[in-house]
Amino acid sequence: MAKILVLYYSAYGHIETMAHAISEGARAAGAEVAIKRVPELVPEMIAHQAGYHLDQSAPIAMVEELPTYDAIIFGTPTRYGMMAAQMKNFLDQTGGLWFENKLVGKVGGVFTSTASQHGGQEATILSFHTVLLHLGMIVVGLPYSYPGLTNMDEIVGGSSYGASTLSGNDDSRQPSDIELEGARFQGRHIAEVAAKLAG
């Protein structure tokens, strides 16, 4: 059984919702799954003014615990075409793990969200992969065996790089069925790959 961490940052709840779908998929493949988040860095007053969801129940992850997992699936909203600073700040604390090769050979995957259809989902995931490769992780995306990737009937997130959703300019759009199914598929797929590598 693979041990998996779904590690996310979410200001308005879209990535939080996707994180739960990722975890459902991983659990369906028999994995033991923890859902945790990285700490908020924005000053509380600004977070309140901007309407951030500050009452999320997932515990805060510790950098030191990362090597205890077979796979880590990272979720971040897109911020100006790349990952959120909150997630990058957490990753920038993994220098000690990098130095000791603690994450080498572990499986890593990324999922994201943007406000707009062409707001940088693929750029965010691909630039996030750079960090995972520096850490020696084995990058796994969302394969085309997930039929939702070829959907042409509605505007939808998701690419072979990873699951994603669109929040709309006012963050009122919620992850769609196809996007949530893509997240479940990626979670299940990564759990299966991690179990094979761990076994």
The yes or no reply on residue 79 touching ligand FMN (CB under 6 A) is yes
- DSSP letter at 67 equals G
Which phi and psi (to 5°) does residue 165 adopt?
-140, 170
The yes or no reply on residue 56 touching ligand FMN (CB under 6 A) is no
- Where are the extended beta strands (E) located within the chain? 3-8, 32-37, 71-79, 82-83, 107-114, 138-139, 164-166
- β-strand 71-79 against 3-8: which pairing, if any? parallel
Q: Which of 23, 167, 176, 186 binds ligand FMN (CB under 6 A)?
A: 167
- 17, 30, 50, 133 from 139: Cα distances, Å: 22, 20, 33, 7
The yes or no reply on residue 120 touching ligand FMN (CB under 6 A) is yes
The yes or no reply on residue 157 touching ligand FMN (CB under 6 A) is no
Stretch that binds ligand FMN, among 111-119, 129-137, 141-149, 181-189 (CB under 6 A): 111-119
- β-strand 32-37 against 82-83: which pairing, if any? unpaired
The yes or no reply on residue 113 touching ligand FMN (CB under 6 A) is yes
The yes or no reply on residue 77 touching ligand FMN (CB under 6 A) is yes
Residues 103 and 147: their CA atoms lie apart, in Å, by: 31
The yes or no reply on residue 122 touching ligand FMN (CB under 6 A) is no
Q: Which is nearer to ligand FMN, 135 or 164 (CB)?
A: 164
Residues 55 and 72: their CA atoms lie apart, in Å, by: 23
The yes or no reply on residue 10 touching ligand FMN (CB under 6 A) is yes
Stretch that binds ligand FMN, among 10-18, 30-38, 141-149, 179-187 (CB under 6 A): 10-18
Residue with the CB atom nearest ligand FMN in the bound state: 119
The yes or no reply on residue 14 touching ligand FMN (CB under 6 A) is yes
The yes or no reply on residue 20 touching ligand FMN (CB under 6 A) is no
Q: Which is nearer to ligand FMN, 77 or 158 (CB)?
A: 77
Structural element, H or E, at residue 189: helix 177-198
The yes or no reply on residue 58 touching ligand FMN (CB under 6 A) is no
Structural contact between residues 190 and 73, judged by C-beta atoms closer than 8 angstroms: yes
Kindly state the number of chain residues that form the binding site for ligand FMN, as judged by CB under 6 A.
19
Site residues for ligand FMN per CB under 6 A: 10-15, 77-81, 113-116, 119-120, 167, 171
